[in-house]
Amino acid sequence: MAANLRLLHMTMALNPVPTIRHAFFLLSIVAVTSVSSCIGLKRFSAIVEKKVRTIPTEDLEPSSNFRFLHQKKSETNWQVKTVRKRNLFIPALVYWQWESSFLTQFEPGFASNLFEKRLLAHSEQLGIKKALDGKVLEVKIENLPDGFEFSRTGAFIYLVFVYATASNETIQPQKKDPLVLFTLRSDTAVLLNDTVTVKNPLVNTEVNVLKRTYRFTDAFIDSYLANVDQMALSAAKQMRASLEKELALPPLPEGGDGGNSGF
């Protein structure tokens, strides 16, 4: 944009009274540059993948009494993928508008592994795992938020020698509340079946105030990880309250939690 302004100033210095044709040509260059500077699918995918590669992904250690039940694993070799959802461009005589949006999806096993690791850690810190004492707890996670939508919109308005540009980037998280289904068993007898719903607080649209797309995206993924940890803690607390009688657990002190985030 700065280079285009210098070009416009240089041209006006050589020709103090530029023709409408000159102005239209130079402002068109500014408009085209503004549009072409929009982030593309390939570049945004690279930003997301680079950040995701920094997240620890080791598998959970097998446990004989605290088991996670999974749906059939998909035959995928990716942790995250991004696809184009929308691409809009409206060129008019004095007004241009553009919009592009991408959908990012974490691989289901990758997303559930993040949640399960934190749920197990909080369950241990809340005394659930130790209190099992020969009993088996089977846990299944459903409806886990595992993606988001990135959008960039912009507009360019010009009237002869005057122009204005504006652009905006947002990220919309998935509005999904996880379900944690669990069964407590003793040998072959079912002692308890229950389901807890975890409120997902990360549902509001995030607006880029960091200027750089990669900083904005990285910050959102960090927020997603922190949100996974908080939802896992909430689930562990609700599970503990449900299991108190069967496992002879003392009531959780007010303000007690499962410790700090492990990400």
Nearest alpha-carbon partner for 28 in 167, 165, 169, 166:
165
- pLDDT 10s digits, 70-127: 765 556 667 899 999 877 666 666 667 778 899 999 998 889 999 999 999 999 999 9
**pLDDT score for 229:** 96
Q: How far is CA 66 from the centre of its chain?
A: 28
- State which of 20-34, 51-65, 220-234 shows the largest mean pLDDT: 220-234
pLDDT digits (tens, 9 = 90+) for 196-233: 999 999 999 999 888 899 999 999 999 999 999 999 99
pLDDT value, residue 61 = 77
* DSSP codes joined into one string, 183-200: EEEETTEEEEEEEEE---
- The DSSP result for 56-105, as a single string, is --PPPPP-SSEEEE-PPPP----SEEEEEEEEEEEE-SSEEEEEEEEEEE
pLDDT, mean over the chain: 81
Q: Which helix (DSSP H) or strand (DSSP E) does residue 26 occupy? A: helix 20-36
Q: Which two tokens stand for residue 230?
A: 């908080």
Q: What is the pTM of this model?
A: 0.80
Domain ranges of the chain: 40-84+106-147+175-203+211-247
What type of residue sits at position 63? S
What does the block give as tokens for 139? 């846990």
Specify the pLDDT at position 162. Answer: 58
